[in-house]
Amino acid sequence: MAKKKRAKKAKPVTKKTVTRRGSKGSSRGRNTGPKRAAAKKKTAAKKKAVKKKAVKKKAVKKKAAKKKTAAKKKTVAKKKTAAKKKTVAKKKTAAKKKTAAKKKTAAKKKTAAKKRPAKKAAVKKKAVKRKPAAKKPAAKKPAAKKPAAKKKAPAVHGSLPRNAVRLLDSLEQAASHALDHLAKLGVDHAEISVAQGERLEAGVRQGEVELVKEAKSRGMNVRIVHGERVATSSTTDLGPQAVERFLARVVEMAELSEPDPLAVPPSPRELTKTFPTLDLWDPKMARVKADRALKLALRCEKAAFSADRRITSSEGATFARGAIHSVLMTSGGFLGRDAGTYASLSTQVICDDEGGKKRNGSHWTAARYMEDLLDPRVVGREAAQRAVRRLGASQMDTGVYPVVFDREIARAIVSMVGGCVMGDSVYRDQSFLKDKLGELVASNKVSIVDDPLLPRGLGSRRHDGEGRSVKVNPIVRAGRLDRFLLDTYSARKLKLRPTHAAGGGGGIPYATTSNLYMKKGRSKPVSLLRGIEKGLYVTSMMGFGFDPVTGNFSRGASGFLIENGELTRPVSEVTISRNLGDMLLGIDAVADDLEFTSSVAAPSFRVDYMTISGRG
């Protein structure tokens, strides 16, 4: 049983012949080997072709992408260039439109300005065909009537810089707005004055900077006449709404005041529309800045110290320059535009005298133009010489002596006369000359003039404060009182004619001087000393001892003693006195050294006698 079982397990195994692929003994291996190699080559070739196609596709895609980006860039660039071209074209068209509009407005203005003259010229040509040569100059006459426009004044003092013209335009606009608003409020008459001033001041003392100050100010003055009731006021806020509120308050003030029939303004026929050229604007003045102003002041003070070793101290040297722009407009149709410059340089130095006393000397110069100022060194040296000449000054004996007034002090006497011929002083009985019109009030060697037409004059003006034209006013002619200086109100009070000398435009009107001076004589300053055995040469005065009602005059003075026709020693601490009317009548010699260094000027002159209170 055990053997049978083993027999069942041991089954015969059939042998199989296994032929290896590719073996020589197999015909099948010999046939399939080359085919497979060829197939491999084909598949490799296919793979390569597929790869090439993929590479080609990628290259094509890249090229297409590049083309797309390039196209996009081109389109963007085209759009940008197109947009730029459009903006440039728009700007060009806008500029063309502006220029065309300007040309049209200019052409309209020209045609409007030429309409009336063209008509007149055409009429003249038709009327006179036989003599065309004789009528050629007549066609120029209408051109002279261009300044007749109500709201445009002629050029201010010739040519002004653009910024000054623009400033005057803005001031005129503010005045016009105020005038229009007052008309809406029903005001009968109004005067508007708008001004802007600027000033630079630089000072030094003992060689060191003491002061540098620059300031501007702007304001509006208003005077209204409403039912013969007058009100005046001023403001510094020129905003349109602020001005309107301000004007409403001015009208309320007028309604509360008492009526005054004499306050009615001059008629429009009396107002001027022509203005003289006075050369009051220096274009170089604005170029003077603080550094140059300080250099001028330092140079002046340095010259004073170097002129004499006895100069021990200084009260300082100061340079100042300024400019003023103003517009005056009235409801009567007047428009005045003004601009002016000014500059000054001054110094005062001190030297020590015996007994601990201090002697000072000063000098100054002022002008509309920088080029008309004295050299700073000249000013400094003159101040030093004046201080040194006063060393050892003492009193002179009390008595009655001839007195010679230096030209810088003589102008103070002329200024007193000017104050006594003002209309308001006369009608208020505050002048000793009130009843002497046409009478002899001074020596026949004395002639006093108020001249607002002096070129580059410090007091010159193109019109008065009420809009009238200005003119030369001879106050004293060869000793005779010719006229008072009158505005409209004072002229009505005195029942006289106005003298075109009003001030206070836009405020309370009053008479004022412009360039007030005594005419020069024929004598030399040295000849005034001849024939004086003992007298006083006055170089400075102190105090305010003058009564315009009575004419009594008494002031402290200093100067030099005159002995036998020569200046001998300095004099101080004396008082000179006499009635001003008697002083004017006692002027027996006038020198020829008149200089316009301020708005009041006079030559040196001699008075036959005055009472001098001094020693003993």
**DSSP state letters, 95-160:** HHHHHHHHHHHHHHHHHHHHHHHHHHHHHHHHH-SS-TTTTTGGGGGGGGGGGG-TT-PPPSSS--
By mean pLDDT, which of 14-18, 44-48, 516-520 is the weakest? Answer: 14-18
Reported confidence tier of residue 107, pLDDT bands at 50, 70, 90? low
Say if residue 29's pLDDT is above 50: no
The single residue listed with the structure tokens 């008459």 is 189
Phi and psi at 439, nearest 5°, equal -100, 165
Q: Express as a percent the part of the chain with pLDDT over 90.
A: 71
- Give the mean pLDDT of 115-138: 40
Mean pLDDT, to the nearest integer, of 553-557? 97
Kindly tell me if the per-residue pLDDT of 88 is higher than 80.
no
Q: How far apart are CA 454 and CA 470, in angstroms?
A: 11
User: What pLDDT does 33 receive?
Assistant: 60
The confidence score (pLDDT) of residue 85 equals 65
Computed over every residue of the chain, the mean pLDDT equals: 85
- The average pLDDT across 539-562 equals 95
- CATH of 162-382 among 3.40.50.300, 3.40.50.2300, 3.50.50.60, 3.30.2290.10: 3.30.2290.10
Single-letter amino acid code for the residue at 542: M
332-370 core/surface letters (b: 16 or more CB in 10 A; e: else): bebbbbbbbbbbbbbbbbbbebeeeeebbbbbbbbbbbb
Q: What is the pLDDT of residues 274-312, one digit of tens each?
A: 999 999 999 999 889 999 999 999 999 999 999 999 999
- pLDDT attached to residue 599: 97
- The DSSP element (H or E) to which 345 belongs, if any, is strand 335-352
517: left (phi over 0), alpha (psi -120 to 50) or beta: beta
Q: Of 165-169, 386-390, 612-616, give the lowest mean pLDDT range.
A: 612-616
Does residue 34 register a pLDDT over 80?
A: no
- Tell whether the model's pLDDT for residue 43 goes beyond 80: no
Q: What is the pLDDT of residue 375?
A: 97
Task: Determine the average pLDDT of the residues in 587-609.
Answer: 97
Q: Report the distance separating Cα 383 and Cα 374, nearest Å.
A: 13
Q: Where in the chain is the domain with CATH 3.30.2290.10?
A: 162-382
Range 374-382 average pLDDT: 97
3-state DSSP call for residue 518?
strand
Q: Does residue 118 surpass a pLDDT of 60?
A: no
Range 162-189 average pLDDT:
96
- Please check whether residue 219 is in contact with residue 234, taking contact to mean a CB–CB distance below 8 angstroms: yes
Q: Is residue 509 a contact partner of residue 488, using CB atoms and an 8 Å limit?
A: yes
Residue 45's pLDDT band, with cuts at 50, 70 and 90, is confident
Pairing mode, strands 552-563 and 480-481: unpaired
The structure's pTM equals: 0.74
Q: Specify the pLDDT at position 356.
A: 86
Under the banding of pLDDT at 50, 70 and 90, the label for residue 75 is: low
Q: Could you tell me the pLDDT band of residue 44, with boundaries at 50, 70 and 90?
A: confident
* CA distance linking residue 472 with residue 478, whole number of Å: 16
Mean pLDDT of 65-87: 66
Q: Check pLDDT > 60 for residue 135.
A: no
CB 589 within 8 A of CB 444: no
Across 46-60, 329-343, 383-397, 573-587, least confident range: 46-60
C-alpha pair distances (Å), 372 with each of 232, 302, 344, 493: 38, 21, 10, 42
**pLDDT at residue number 575:** 97
Buried b (16+ CB within 10 A) or exposed e, 406-436: bbbbbbbbbbbbbebbbbbbbbeeebbbbee
Alpha helical stretches, state H, 515-593: 580-585
CA nearest 589: which of 515, 530, 516, 513? Answer: 530
pLDDT value for 108? 55
116-125, 200-209, 362-371, 467-476: least confident range: 116-125
Contact 319, 344 (CB under 8 A): yes
Helices and strands counted in the chain (H then E): 10, 19
Confidence band for 101, pLDDT divided at 50, 70 and 90: low
